[in-house]
Every structure is written in structure tokens, then in C-alpha cells.
Structure 1
């Protein structure tokens, strides 16, 4: 389980000057859980205002209800390799 204090520390570092993010990617989901659209953006090319807006959203995600489902997601043993989604999320 993700420690709340660790998540608070990470969100404190999510400022335009201190972040190390280079890309943001994700999808838009409908009420049935189907993907409505996706995005993959170079974070470094965004304007200062857009960076702040995207970081504000990123700070809310770890504490949202959706993240509870993500924390309990079980990855199959063969999908935990060096370039896997599991490694990205656990990093």
C-alpha cells in the first residue's frame, strides 16, 4: 500500500521548477470504463500556465478514488519485467 506521507512528499515536489517530468500521458474514460481518447504530451514544451495546470491535476491523482483501484491491481508474474508498466508504477 502507498504510504500517505510519501505521497504528500511527492506532491510537494510537483512544482514547475522542481518537477522532473518530461512527458505526460493518459486516457479519458467514460462511465463504463471504456477509453474515449488518449493523450501523450511533451511536458517540457508546455507554457508555464499549462505546466501549472497539469501539475495541479497530477497532484490530485494519487489521492483520488481511482488510485485505490490501482493500488490493488494485481500484475501477472510475467508482466513485471524491466520495461513493464509494473516497473513504471512501482518506480
Structure 2
């Protein structure tokens, strides 16, 4: 979850991680693995480009920011952040 009115550092380092899955369900007894390392904005773009039926298998891990309740962002958080007016396009 994130706080709407606070600024977000989109250029902060971030990792896109995927949970191992079985029949499109997370296998929580396993550890998520790294798919991409880059900026928060890049990770959000890559996550939202994934097929909708697989998006729940991903998380974004980034530096703790005052706008975030956690350093792990869910796909729902990423989608909301991408809709912000200040989200970098392209």
C-alpha cells in the first residue's frame, strides 16, 4: 500500500521478482526469484506488461520510501502508482 499525496522516487533501485508457481498459484514455500533489476519505474512498466493471468505471481521490491507502507509493492500497488500524474511516461 502507498500514501497517495506523498512523492515517489521513481528512479530508486528496484527488483521485479516472481514467485515460483503451480497452476498459476504462488508456491509460498519457495522463495521468489529475480526477473529484473533496475529502477522502480522500469519494474512497474515491466510488471504491467505481463499477461493478466500471471501478474499476481510478481512483486516489486524497492527501497523504503515515505510514500510506501512496505518495501514490497504488490501488482495492485504498481497499477495504482502507474496511474499517478507524476509517473514517468516511456
Both proteins in one fold, TM over 0.5: no
- Structure 1 length as normaliser, TM-score? 0.29
Structure with higher strand content = 2
Structure with higher helix content = 1
- Rg larger in 1 or in 2? 1
Q: Give the structure, 1 or 2, with the largest relative contact order (CA under 8 Å, sep 6 or more).
A: 2
- Structure 2 length as normaliser, TM-score? 0.29
